[in-house]
Amino acid sequence: MKHLIFSEKTDFSVNRVIDWLAYYDQSFEKFIGPTENKDLFIYNDKTFSFTFGGKGFSNSSKVYKQSQINTATTWFRRPYKNCDHFLQEYEYQGAYPREKLDYTIYQRFRVFWDFIGYKLSEGHHFGSFKINELNKPIVLQEAQKIGLLVPKTLITNSKEELIHFLRDCNQKIITKPIHEVMRDHHYELEKDEYLFIYQMTQLLEELDDKPDIFAPSLFQEYIEKEYEIRTIYINGECYSTAIFSQLNEQTKIDMRNRDANEPTRYFPYKLDASTEEKINVLMNKLNLNFGAIDFIKSVEGDCFFLEINPVGQYGDVSIFGNYYLHKKIAEFLLNKKEKK
Amino acid sequence: MIDDSEKYKDLISIPEHPSISYDLHKISISHQSKKNNSKRFIYMKKYRGEGSILDFYKPNSNILSIKEND
């Protein structure tokens, strides 16, 4: 029996969970993609057979690669949605356009890939095959509905509305992407020299500069924080740390802008029971058993909910909070009860 | 990480357009070099022997900024 793990190349925390799986003498296989050519879950090298329906016909799921692959558990850590890598080079000179044929093949691959995810989700699994991103405005609205405090938020494509909002928020707002941040990019200048292009949350205190015209965008009031809270939600349990990102100018607006030699201070933290209960309700509503959840504790003492990342990083919270989350995840995959 | 956005603003110029969101006009740029970073991770070095967070040393880790001479 094997543990299947769907992740990506830069997700180092997975390796720490694998260390624990190895400690428990477990067999596992990690798939990363879709940008990598190796370690992909390809099916050209496998034989699949799923049966169901009819009268007296048995439901079965079989996957063979030399011998039958039996799945113990599946961890959808960062499952990939694209399945271009399933396409094989083939000779074709027919009248039907090649790109339309490729598109049709891709759609079929995609449906089958989703079906595999659906079947794996029927077994013992962690994370979600379907949800590797959330709609930020919807999550904020849902959080507000169940009683969590969210920052004043504006989604608009009107500069005039934005000016009013800035005034309403004492001339301090932030702009952050409505979706996840733009992917970083290394722009080569010359040998060993490059420009690193990235995106951070930006503080806006005036709107004199461009743009005047823009697509619907997300703006929120800037909250003077005492500290940030990152909570890792695992199957109904909240593991939180207070993060003192306001102590460093560099991490004040966006804590990701960290410095390796001046690390941000983390401290184990316990959210109040009411907030943990609301988080539980929200996560159940979103059908998630894992999430990295961000809060801000304002200098006035209010706790603002910011967002949930359903595939967020938990390594920092685990290490600095001394929570052994890698071990807990491995033990969940093993279906082990936590030792008291 | 030193924000060099002003210096290289032409390289991160995004057109003003009703299809482009506001935040994309606020992207940043920083000049970096491709040296072996592991020697510059002064603080993290003390954890090296513990084997728990060695991944921070990898070139594509999520540590963005390293100050020299600290």
Full pLDDT tens readout for chain A, 340 residues: 888 888 877 777 888 898 889 899 998 888 776 555 566 677 677 788 889 998 888 888 888 777 777 788 899 988 876 655 555 678 888 999 998 998 888 888 888 888 888 998 998 999 998 887 899 999 999 999 999 999 999 999 999 999 999 999 999 999 989 987 777 788 888 887 888 888 888 889 988 777 999 999 999 999 999 999 999 999 999 999 999 888 777 676 676 666 666 677 888 999 999 999 999 999 999 999 999 999 999 999 999 999 999 998 898 899 889 999 999 999 999 886 544 3
CB contact under 8 A, A214 and B52: no
Would you give the end-to-end CA distance of chain A in angstroms? 27
Contact A259, B65 (CB under 8 A): yes
Pairing of strands A2-7, A71-76: parallel
Q: Does A261 contact B1 at a Cβ distance shorter than 8 Å?
A: no
Distances in Å between the alpha carbon of A113 and those of A43, A68, A90, A116, A117? Answer: 10, 19, 21, 5, 6
Q: Cβ of A195 and B30 within 8 Å?
A: yes
Q: How far apart are CA A129 and CA A5, in angstroms?
A: 11
pLDDT of A273 reads 96
Amino acid at A103: Y
Nearest chain B residue to A162 by CA distance is B22
What is the structure's pLDDT at A28?
86
Distance CA A9, CA A205 (A): 38
Q: Per-residue pLDDT for B47 more than 60?
A: no
* Beta-ladder partners of B21: A215
Which residue from B28, B32, B30, B41 is spatially nearest to A175, judged by alpha carbons?
Answer: B28
What is the structure's pLDDT at A257? Answer: 67
Q: How far apart are CA A236 and CA A282, in angstroms?
A: 11
Cross-chain residue pair B31–A214, CB shorter than 8 Å: no
Question: pLDDT tens for residues A281-305?
Answer: 999 999 999 999 999 999 999 999 9
Chain A residues touching B52 at Cβ < 8 A: 16, 319
Judge: B22–A258 Cβ closer than 8 Å, yes or no.
Answer: no
Q: What are the start-end ranges of the H helices in chain A?
A: 13-23, 98-122, 136-145, 159-168, 273-285, 315-321, 325-333
Angle CA(A203)–CA(A206)–CA(A208) in degrees, nearest 5? Answer: 125
Residue B60 pLDDT exceeds 50:
no
- Exposure class string for A161-170: b at 16+ Cβ within 10 A, else e: ebeebbeebe
Q: Which of A160, A196, A207, A208 to mutate to test the interface with B (most CBs of B within 10 A)?
A: A196
Sheet arrangement for strand A47-51: A47-51, A60-65, A67-68
pLDDT at B40: 62
- The pLDDT of residue A281 is 97
Q: Which of A259, A316, A324 to mutate to test the interface with B (most CBs of B within 10 A)?
A: A259
Residues with Cβ within 8 Å of residue A35, at least 6 apart in sequence: A9
- Length of chain A (residues): 340
Helices within A84-241 (DSSP H only):
98-122, 136-145, 159-168
pLDDT of residue B61: 47
For an interface test with A, which of B20, B26, B46 has the most A Cβ atoms less than 10 Å from its Cβ? B26
Per-residue model confidence (pLDDT) at position A239: 97
Q: Which residues pair with A149 in a beta bridge?
A: A304
- Give the residue among A238, A298, A299, A304 at the shortest CA–CA distance from A273: A238
Phi, psi of A242 (to 5 degrees): -85, 135
Instruction: Give me the pLDDT at residue A169, please.
Output: 95
A-B Cβ pairs (cutoff 8 Å, strict): 140
Q: Do A214 and B16 touch (CB under 8 A)?
A: yes
How many angstroms separate the CA atoms of B23 and A199, rounded? 9
Adjacency order of strands within the sheet including A266-269: A266-269, A237-243, A225-234, A290-298, A303-309
Residue A305: which residues within 8 A CB-CB, separation 6 or more? A140, A143, A148, A149, A150, A293, A294, A295
State whether B22 and A196 contact (CB < 8 Å): no
- Subunit contact B23:A218, Cβ cutoff 8 A: yes
Residue B45 pLDDT = 60
Query: CA triplet A92, A95, A101: central angle to 5 degrees?
Result: 60
Please check whether residue A216 touches B, CB under 8 A: yes
**Confidence tier at B54 by pLDDT (50, 70, 90):** very low
Q: pTM of the prediction? A: 0.83
Residues of B within 8 A of A218 (CB-CB) are 23
Pair of tokens at residue A272: 């109040």
Which uninterrupted H or E stretch holds A239? strand A237-243
The B residues from 14 to 53 touching A (CB cutoff 8 Å) are: 16-35, 40-44, 52-53
Q: How far is A280 from chain B (nearest CA, A)?
A: 29
Under an 8 A CB cutoff, do B28 and A194 touch? no
pLDDT tens column, B23-36: 999 888 888 776 66
Q: Which residues pair with A267 in a beta bridge?
A: A242
Interface of A with B in 132-171 (CB under 8 A): 157, 162
pLDDT score at A168: 96
Residue B18, preceding bond cis, omega within 30 degrees?
no
User: Would you tell me which residues 7-26 of chain A have a C-beta closer than 8 angstroms to some C-beta of chain B?
Assistant: 9-10, 12-13, 15-16
Distance CA A286, CA A293 (A): 13
Residue A133 CA to residue A40 CA, distance in Å, equals 21
Stretch 176-205 of chain A: residues touching chain B, C-beta under 8 Å: 176-178, 182, 186-187, 189, 192-200, 202
